Amino acid sequence: ILATLLGLPRMCAPPSMVNTEQRQHAEHIFLSFRKSKSPFAVCKHILGKCPSNKIASKHFSIMFSLLSPPSLQKYVREQILLAVAVIVKRGSLDKSINCKGIFHEVSQLISSGNPTVQTLACSILTALISEFSSSSKTSNIGLNMEFHGSCKRIFQEDNLRQIFVLTMEVLQEFSRRENLNAQMSSVFQRYLALANQSTQNVMLKPTETWREALLDTRVMDLFFTVHIKIREDSDMAQDSLQCLAQLASMHGPIFPDESAQVSYLAHLVEGLLSMINGIEIEDSEAVGISNIISNLISTFPRVILTALPSELFTSFINCLTLLTCSFGRSAALEEVLDKDDMVYMEAYDKLLESWLTLVQDDEHFPRGCFVQPAVQVFNSYIQCHLAAPDGTRNLTVNGVASHEEDEINELQEDDRELFSDQLASIGMLGRIAANHCIPLLTSLLEERVTRLHGQLQRTQQHLMNSSNPGSVDRKVLDDLYEDIHWLILVSGYLLADDPQGETPLIPAEVMEYSINHSTEVDINTTLQILGSPGEKASSIPGCNRTDSVIRLLSAVLRTSEVESRATRASLTELLSPQMGKDIVWFLKRWAKTYLLVDEKLYGQISIPLSTAFGADTEGAQWIVGYLLEKVINNLSVWSSEPELANDTVELLVCLVEKRERANIVVQCENWWNLAKQFASRSPPLDLLSSSVQRTLMKALVLGGFAHMDSDTKQQYWTEVLHPLQQRFLNLINQENFPQICQEESVKREIVATLEALCGIAEATQIDNVASLFSFLMDFLSSCIGLMEVYRNTPETINLIIEVFVEVAHKQICYLGESKSMKLYEVCLTLLQVYSKNNLGRKRADVAAEEDQYQDLLLIMELLTNLLSKEFIDFSDTDEVFRGQEQGSGAAGRSVSAADVVLFGVNIILPLMSQDLLKFPSLCNQYYKLITFICEIFPEKIPQLPEELFKSLMYSLELGMTSMSSEVSQLCLEALSPLAEQCAKTQEKDTPLFIATRHFLKLVFDMLVLQKHNTEITVAAGEALYTLVCLHQAEYQELVESLLATQRDAVIYQRLADAFNKLTASSTPPSMDRKQKVAFLKSLEEFVSNVGGLLCVK
C-alpha cells in the first residue's frame, strides 16, 4: 500500500521529473491495485490507519492534490478517479466512508477559483456518478448485484441532488464571467456534461424532493444564459441544449398542481422563444432545439398547453412554423450537398413528428388554429421538392443547380418508405388545410402532366428526325419525373392511409372538405373530367366546378394515361420506371380506400364521392376497367423492371382480394384476356420475374372466386387452371419424358408450373380452400414423380419442396382430419424420396453446400408448417369440405403428423452442424421445430435412435446456453414436456431421465447464478419446476452445495430462507398446475429477493 501511495505521486509528476520506466512501473502498481479482487482490504487498511472520517477524507484530499498537476495525462487521471469512486462505493458498504466529507472537499475545490482545481472537482463528480449509476457503467469489482443496486438507490436519494447543487454553483459562477478562454471553456464543458449526467433519464421524472432544486426559475434561466454564452462551441452547445431538452421533458410528482405546471411551461416557452428569436441558429443547434420542442409537445398534457396565455401560444406556434420551414429548406440543401451528417434532416423529422402529435389532438385546440401553419409548412415542403422555377429542388445556396446521377441499388428504399414519416406528417397537415392543399396539388400535377406530354411529343419528333437516339437530353424529362414523383407521393399520403389489415377509411378531413364544397360542384363535369384521362382537364368546359378530391385522382390518371400512350408509341425507353411505380402505388392506395366506398362506414358521405365511386355506379365500373387496362399494359411493357412489375401486380391483387371489387373485375373482358394470355405462357407475360408470375397467378385464382353464374365460373376455371393441369399432364405423361426432361424447354415448362402452383397456394382463403386443396393434391402426387426424374437437378428439387411448403403453410390450418391425413401422407412420401435420393450421394460442385442449406431450410419449414396445425386450426371437422367428404373419417388413418415430422427430423438432424446453425434463419427454424416436437410428441422422444436422441439433447443444451435469448427460451419451453414425459413413464435410468437430470443443473445455474434476461424467467421457471418434481433429491443436493459455499452467515441465512420459501408452497412438489403457478409466483419473489446476491459483478 505504501508502494502504491508512493507510486502515485511518481506517476502523477510532470514528465520531466520521472522517466518513462518509472511511470510505467507506477502505473502498473496502481492498475494492479485497482484490479485486485480485494481493494476493499486495501481500503480498510488505509481507513484502519485513519480511524476518523475526517482523516479519511484528508487522505482523499492528499490524493486529489496529487492529481491536480495539469500535465497529468487525462486518461491516467480518470482511471485514478474511477478507482477513488470504487473505494468510495466499497466504503459505503460498511459506512466507513461518508460521502459528505468528499462533497465538502469538492465544494472547497470548486470555490478555490482555480480552473484546474475546478476541473478536477468536476472529474471527481463525474467518476462518482458513473460508478454509482447504471449497472453497465459500474466497474467489475466482484460484488453481487444487490450491492450495486442498493448503492445506486442510496446515492440517488442522498447525493445526486447535492451534486446538482454543486454543479449549478459552478455554472452560475461561469455564466457571470465575460470572456471564456479555452481552458475555462473546457472546464465548463465538463460541468455541462455533468449537469447532463446528473439528470440522466431521457424523460425527466424527478421526485418531489427535487421540487426546490429544479422548479426554481433561476435554474432554467441559467441554462438559457449558459447556452447563449457557449453556443459557438458545437460540442458544448449540444450538451447545454440537451440539458434544456431534459428540462422540457419534466413531468411527474415534482409539480404540486396544474398551475405550477402551466407557469413552468410558460417560463420555458418564453425562454425558448426569446432564445430562438435572439440568435441565428447554428448547424449544431438544430437537432438540440428540435429535441426541446418535441419533448415539450409530447410531455405536457394538452390542457396545460392550451392554458398558456393565448398570445404566448400563438407566438410559439408561429415560431414552430417558421422553424419547421427553415429546417426543411436546410435539409433539402444538405441533400443536394450529399452531406454525411444530416443534422437538419434529423431536426426536420423531429419537428414534423411534433406537428403530427399536435394536429392529431386538433380538437383540444382553438378551431382552425393550425390551418395557416399547415399551409405554410405544406407549401415549403412542396417548394423544396419541386424544380425551379416553382421550387428550389437541387439548388445550392447561391442558386446553382446540381444534377448528379448516382448509381442506386435495389437495397436502397424507395422514397415512399424512406420518407414515410415525413410524408405522413405532410399528408396530415395537407388534410388540415385541405382547402388550400388539394387544389394546389391538382394544379401543379395537371400542369406538369401537360408539360410531360408536350416534352415527350417533342422528343419523339426529335428522334424521328435524328439518327442518333443518344442525343436526347433527359434533363428536362428527369426534372418533370422528379416533380411528378413527389406530387404523387404527397397526394397519396394526403388522400389515404395505409393501415395494415383493416379497411382504410376516407380521412374525415377529406370527406368533410368534399361535403362542404359539394353544393358548388357540377357532378357531370366532374365525371367527365374523371372519365377522360386522355384530355387536358382545363380544356373541358366548366372544369373549375369539379370536386377537388376527384380532380386530384383524375390528375394522377392523366399522368398514367400519358405514360401508357408513350409506351404504345414505343417511347418506353424515355419513361421513368420510378414514375410508373408511383402511379400504381397511388392507384392501389386510392382504390383500397375510395373504390366502392361503403356508405355504412361513414356518418356523412360526400355525394360526389359516392356518385363517382360507390357500389353499382358506372364510375366504379369504368375505373375498375381503366385500372385493369393499366395493369395489363404495365405487365407487358415493364417486364424488365422487377419493382414496377411487382407494384403493378400488387394493384391487381388489391382489385380482386375483396369480393365486391372482384365481382366487377371479372365482368371485364380484359380480365379474361389476361387470364388466357397468362395460361398460354407466351411473351410478354412469361418474361416476368418468377415472384411476379406467382403473384399474378394468385390474383387470377382469387378472381375466380368472385360472383359469377355457374356456367361462367366453369368457363373461367377452364381458362385459368385447366390449361395448367393439361400442359403439365401432357408433358409428364409423354413416353420419353425421362429422356427429354433435361431439355431446357421442358425444364422451363416444369419450373413455370411449379411457380404457378406456389401462386395458387398463396391464393388460399377459407372459402376457396376446398376446391384449391383438391386441385393442388393431384399435382403434389405428380411432384413426387418429378422428385425422381429430377433427382440430379438441385434447383428443381428445391422448387418442388417449396410447393409443398406453400401448400402446407396456407392450407393445413383449414383442413379437417382426413384431408390433413392426405397431406401428411404425401409429405412423408416426399421426404422418403428425398432421403433415398440423397443417401450416399456426394456432390463436388461449388453450389453443393448452398443447395443443401436451402433444402434443409425448406424441409424444416415444411415440418414446422405441418406441426402448426396443433396450434392454429380453423377446421371444423371438414366443414369447408361439406358435400365432398364420403364419411371415411379417421377409420383409414395411416399416417400421423408425428410420423412425418419424426421422419423429417431423421433426415435433418444428421445433416445439421454447428456451422449451419450460424445461419440465423436456419438456427431459428431448427429450434422452433425441435421445440414443437418436444411439446407435441414428447412420447416419441425416448423412442428415437440413440444417436438421434443424443444429438437432439445436445442441440437443446447448446441452444439453451449459447444462442440468442429467443432460442434459449424455445429450448427451455421444450424441457417441461420432456420432464413430464419421464414422470409419466416412471422409468428411471432411461437416457431421457438421465438427460433431464443434467438439464436440472443447467436450469438451476441459469436461474440462480447467472444474470439472465427477465424475459426467460417464466420459461426457465416452468422448466425448473417440472425438473425439480422429477429429481427432488438432486435438487436438494444442488441447494445444499450452493449454501455450503456461503461464508457470510447473514447471506447464508437469507439464502436458506429464500430457498425454503421457494418450495414451501409446493411441498412435496407434484406436477399439478396449481402448485406450478404457486411455484412460479414464489420464484418471482425469490429472484427479486436474492437474485442479486448470487450474481456477481
Partner 1 sequence: MMRQVYCAANSGSASRVKAQAKLGHVDRAWGCLTRRVPLIHRTMADTDLDFTTGESGASATIPMQCSALRKNGYVVLKGRPCKIVEMSTSKTGKHGHAKVNMVGIDIFTNKKYEDMCPSTHNMDVPHIKRNEFQLLNITDGFMSLMGDNGDVREDLRVPDSDLGKEIEQKFAASEDILVSVLSAMGEECAVAIKQMTGGK
Site for partner 1 in 635-674 (CB under 8 A): 639-643
**Closer of 177 and 836 to partner 1 (Cβ):** 836
Q: Does 853 bind partner 1 (CB under 8 A)?
A: no
**Minimum CB distance to partner 1, residue 568 (Å):** 17
Indicate the residue type of 241. Answer: L
* Cα distance between residue 912 and residue 906, in whole Å: 11
Side-chain half-sphere exposure of 458, counting CA atoms within 13 A: 11
Binding partner 1 (rule: CB under 8 A), the pick from 21, 257, 845, 946 is 845
**Closer of 643 and 957 to partner 1 (Cβ):** 643
Binding partner 1 (rule: CB under 8 A), the pick from 616, 744, 915, 946 is 744
Q: Does 735 bind partner 1 (CB under 8 A)?
A: yes
**Closer of 525 and 798 to partner 1 (Cβ):** 798
Q: Identify the H or E element spanning 557.
A: helix 548-568
Site string for partner 1, 761-800 (x = CB under 8 A): ---------------------x--xx-xx--xx-x--x--
**Closer of 353 and 415 to partner 1 (Cβ):** 415
CA 570 and chain centroid, separation:
42
**Minimum CB distance to partner 1, residue 31 (Å):** 49
**Minimum CB distance to partner 1, residue 423 (Å):** 16
Binding partner 1 (rule: CB under 8 A), the pick from 409, 465, 604, 1041 is 409
Binding partner 1 (rule: CB under 8 A), the pick from 520, 743, 778, 849 is 743
The three-class DSSP label of residue 519 is helix
Q: Identify the H or E element spanning 191.
A: helix 182-198
* Cα distance between residue 816 and residue 183, in whole Å: 80
**Closer of 610 and 798 to partner 1 (Cβ):** 798
Q: Does 740 bind partner 1 (CB under 8 A)?
A: yes
Binding partner 1 (rule: CB under 8 A), the pick from 843, 882, 893, 1081 is 843
**Closer of 77 and 581 to partner 1 (Cβ):** 581
The three-class DSSP label of residue 159 is coil
Contact assessment for residue 276 and residue 289, using Cβ atoms and an 8 Å cutoff: yes
Binding partner 1 (rule: CB under 8 A), the pick from 52, 259, 277, 734 is 734
Bridge partners of residue 597, in order along the sequence: 614
Q: Does 451 bind partner 1 (CB under 8 A)?
A: no
* Cα distance between residue 734 and residue 743, in whole Å: 14
* Cα distance between residue 201 and residue 983, in whole Å: 50
Nearest Cα residue to 554 out of 451, 626, 602, 628: 626
By CB under 8 A, what part of segment 164-183 binds partner 1? none
By CB under 8 A, what part of segment 238-297 binds partner 1? none
Number of residues that bind partner 1 (CB under 8 A): 73
**Closer of 737 and 919 to partner 1 (Cβ):** 737
Q: Which cell goes with 552?
A: 386530384
Indicate the residue type of 677. Answer: Q
Nearest Cα residue to 925 out of 937, 912, 935: 912
* Cα distance between residue 270 and residue 291, in whole Å: 16
- Tell me how long the chain is: 1097
The three-class DSSP label of residue 548 is helix
Q: Which cell goes with 1083?
A: 420464484
By CB under 8 A, what part of segment 682-701 binds partner 1? 686-690
Contact assessment for residue 944 and residue 901, using Cβ atoms and an 8 Å cutoff: no
Side-chain half-sphere exposure of 735, counting CA atoms within 13 A: 0
* Cα distance between residue 661 and residue 587, in whole Å: 14
* Cα distance between residue 875 and residue 797, in whole Å: 31
Using the structure block, give the residue that is written with the C-alpha cell 446528473: 198
**Minimum CB distance to partner 1, residue 116 (Å):** 56
Q: Identify the H or E element spanning 565.
A: helix 548-568
By CB under 8 A, what part of segment 797-836 binds partner 1? 798, 836
**Minimum CB distance to partner 1, residue 477 (Å):** 8
By CB under 8 A, what part of segment 1015-1074 binds partner 1? none
* Cα distance between residue 428 and residue 497, in whole Å: 10
By CB under 8 A, what part of segment 303-322 binds partner 1? none
Nearest Cα residue to 976 out of 933, 930, 1014, 1020: 1020
* Cα distance between residue 815 and residue 1011, in whole Å: 45
Binding partner 1 (rule: CB under 8 A), the pick from 14, 253, 368, 738 is 738
Q: Which cell goes with 221?
A: 434561466
**Closer of 408 and 1050 to partner 1 (Cβ):** 408
**Closer of 145 and 746 to partner 1 (Cβ):** 746
Q: Does 410 bind partner 1 (CB under 8 A)?
A: yes
**Minimum CB distance to partner 1, residue 1091 (Å):** 48
**Closer of 123 and 633 to partner 1 (Cβ):** 633
The three-class DSSP label of residue 161 is helix
**Closer of 79 and 691 to partner 1 (Cβ):** 691
Binding partner 1 (rule: CB under 8 A), the pick from 749, 817, 935, 980 is 749
**Minimum CB distance to partner 1, residue 846 (Å):** 5
Binding partner 1 (rule: CB under 8 A), the pick from 319, 731, 777, 1071 is 731
Binding partner 1 (rule: CB under 8 A), the pick from 37, 74, 367, 842 is 842
Q: Which cell goes with 243?
A: 440539458
Q: Does 573 bind partner 1 (CB under 8 A)?
A: yes
**Minimum CB distance to partner 1, residue 839 (Å):** 7
Q: How many CB atoms lie within 10 A of CB 183?
A: 12
Write the CA distances from 413 to 345, 420, 590, integer angstroms: 17, 11, 21
Contact assessment for residue 343 and residue 291, using Cβ atoms and an 8 Å cutoff: no
Binding partner 1 (rule: CB under 8 A), the pick from 713, 727, 950, 1097 is 727
The three-class DSSP label of residue 598 is coil
Binding partner 1 (rule: CB under 8 A), the pick from 407, 502, 915, 946 is 407
**Closer of 107 and 572 to partner 1 (Cβ):** 572
Q: Which cell goes with 195?
A: 449537469
Binding partner 1 (rule: CB under 8 A), the pick from 576, 818, 955, 996 is 576
* Binding range to partner 1, per CB under 8 A, among 98-106, 229-237, 606-614, 725-733: 725-733
Binding partner 1 (rule: CB under 8 A), the pick from 729, 994, 1009, 1064 is 729
| Alpha-carbon radius of gyration of the chain | 37
By CB under 8 A, what part of segment 578-597 binds partner 1? 578-579
Indicate the residue type of 7. Answer: G
Q: Does 942 bind partner 1 (CB under 8 A)?
A: no
**Closer of 846 and 1044 to partner 1 (Cβ):** 846
By CB under 8 A, what part of segment 854-873 binds partner 1? 854
By CB under 8 A, what part of segment 118-147 binds partner 1? none
* Cα distance between residue 266 and residue 632, in whole Å: 60
Write the CA distances from 165 to 121, 161, 173, 795, integer angstroms: 14, 6, 12, 71
Q: Which cell goes with 1079?
A: 411455484
By CB under 8 A, what part of segment 458-497 binds partner 1? 474, 477-478, 481-482, 485
**Closer of 201 and 736 to partner 1 (Cβ):** 736
**Closer of 690 and 1032 to partner 1 (Cβ):** 690
**Closer of 59 and 727 to partner 1 (Cβ):** 727
* Cα distance between residue 626 and residue 579, in whole Å: 18
Binding partner 1 (rule: CB under 8 A), the pick from 745, 986, 1014, 1045 is 745
Binding partner 1 (rule: CB under 8 A), the pick from 113, 603, 840, 887 is 840
